[in-house]
Amino acid sequence: MAPTSAIPDEAALGRLVQWIDGIDLPMFILLEHNAARLEFVHANETLGRVAGVPASIFAGRSAEEIFPARMAVQLSGNYRACLDGDKPVSYEECLMIEGRETWWQTTLSKPAGFGGRVVLGIAVSTTEAKAREFAAAEAVSEMAARFDELQLFSTMAAHDARSPLATVSSLVDLVLDGFDDRGDGKAELLRLISKTVDEALDQIGSTLARSREFSGDVSRPTEVELGRLANDIAAMVDPEMTLEIDVPEASIECDAVVVQMGLRNLMANAARFAGERICVQLGEDRVRGLIILDVADDGPGLPKGTQLRDLSAAGERRDGTHGFGLRSIHQLLKSRGGTLDVRPALDDEGLPGARFRMEVPGRVLSGAPQTPSTDDSASLWAEAS
């Protein structure tokens, strides 16, 4: 029996290498040398060009030898899932390659004829599309904020106009009551004034009713594997696995872009201050149709009484660029019918640091067994195992 380290059908593998070199899509080949090692056999030049790195850095190396520790664990898990399963594995991932953040839609499959020990990967770059997606979400958030201001202004203007017009209508009615018409048309003018005022009041009422119908909700709910999403973010904020990061394994329906941007901001903040541990908790408020995500850490925490507006103001005063900050995340969530807030620390769970709560329209589809929250009886909660 051939040793497990031998290359299965070397000639066929060579032909597969030649084949992917002739395809203008980023592709790579992995080989299972033994139960403990999966290494890249080849990556085509298209992958190197799109990733912006020499394709030669892949051959003969494992994921652990190329990527940061936490990211390598995820990638190896994906490759093993493909080897152990009977169907292709497809997923979105964010990889740090040579210090650059790149996004990919990757599909893994097992080509026939290699004894189930070869993985063929096709990785389509979505970096530019992801950047546009995030930029569009931020732009929509800004537009929604401006729309809210305009809506408030128009509503207040309508309210302010309705009261004096109603007074004019009442005064005209008083004048007409017992008015002595001397045939000079004044009574008809007064009735015309009253009718005009009534029509104006009706139009104001219609304007207010229409204003209440407007909604800034532009969410596009999709099914999201929360564990994979949160682990991708964990690989970005703590690539070398210096922290313990607990995330819930669950499938949720939500606006994926909003949840991704919000979680990334909160987990990045937590990674800056955490001592050893970050915990992401998932809850669901079925009455209000919301999913609730808490991000807590074991860092020094916030001064007592700190509110979100205090942190937002402090962030605005800092020099330099700090990404999509708390104020922007709050605005983004608000534009989608959600909220962002500061919550009390989870001292009894060994997480005395800051805890932020993000609420966004959605629902839990599966996973993460639900338990009642200790600080919000309307919510059902599940902590990552």
- pLDDT tens digits, residue range 118-155? 999 998 888 777 767 666 666 665 665 565 555 555 66
Q: Is residue 120 within 8 Å of residue 88, measured between CB atoms?
A: no
Q: What is the pLDDT of residue 320?
A: 42
Select the more confidently predicted residue: 165 or 133.
165
Q: Check whether 216 has a pLDDT greater than 60.
A: no
Q: What is the pLDDT of residue 263?
A: 92
Give the tokens for residue 356.
């932020």
360 phi, psi to nearest 5 deg: -150, 145
Lowest-confidence segment of 5-14, 87-96, 113-122 by average pLDDT = 5-14
Q: Check whether 319 has a pLDDT greater than 70.
A: no
What is the secondary structure of 176-205 as a DSSP string? HTT----SSSHHHHHHHHHHHHHHHHHHHH
Q: Is residue 301 within 8 Å of residue 353, measured between CB atoms?
A: yes
pLDDT band of residue 322 (cuts 50, 70, 90) is: very low
Q: What is the pLDDT of residue 385?
A: 38
Is the pTM above the cut of 0.85?
no
Question: Residue 71: helix, strand or coil by DSSP?
Answer: helix
Q: Is residue 302 within 8 Å of residue 342, measured between CB atoms?
A: yes
DSSP H/E element including 361: strand 355-367
Measured CA to CA, the distance from residue 373 to residue 40 in angstroms comes to 46
Measured CA to CA, the distance from residue 372 to residue 377 in angstroms comes to 7
Mean predicted confidence (pLDDT) in 264-268: 90
User: Which of 65, 73, 37 has the alpha carbon at shortest distance from 247?
Assistant: 73
Q: What is the pLDDT of residue 101?
A: 74
Select the more confidently predicted residue: 128 or 268.
268
Q: Is residue 143 within 8 Å of residue 200, measured between CB atoms?
A: no
Mean predicted confidence (pLDDT) in 34-40: 83
pLDDT band of residue 374 (cuts 50, 70, 90) is: very low
Measured CA to CA, the distance from residue 110 to residue 107 in angstroms comes to 10
User: Which of 53, 50, 78, 51 has the alpha carbon at shortest distance from 63?
Assistant: 78
Measured CA to CA, the distance from residue 383 to residue 369 in angstroms comes to 9
pLDDT band of residue 333 (cuts 50, 70, 90) is: confident
Q: How far is CA 251 from the centre of its chain?
A: 14
Q: What is the pLDDT of residue 323?
A: 40
Q: Is residue 135 within 8 Å of residue 145, measured between CB atoms?
A: no
Q: Check whether 383 has a pLDDT greater than 70.
A: no
Select the more confidently predicted residue: 158 or 83.
83
Q: Check whether 264 has a pLDDT greater than 50.
A: yes
Measured CA to CA, the distance from residue 35 to residue 32 in angstroms comes to 7
pLDDT band of residue 2 (cuts 50, 70, 90) is: very low
Q: What is the pLDDT of residue 273?
A: 92
CB atoms near residue 188 (< 10 Å): 10
Residue 244, beta-bridge partner list: 277
How many residues are given for the chain?
385
Measured CA to CA, the distance from residue 99 to residue 299 in angstroms comes to 27
CB atoms near residue 194 (< 10 Å): 18
Lowest-confidence segment of 1-5, 109-113, 224-228, 270-274 by average pLDDT = 1-5
Q: What is the pLDDT of residue 379?
A: 42
Give the tokens for residue 123.
């990785």
- The amino acid that residue 74 corresponds to is Q
Lowest-confidence segment of 88-102, 255-269, 313-327 by average pLDDT = 313-327
Mean predicted confidence (pLDDT) in 256-263: 87
High-pLDDT (> 70) share of the chain, %: 75
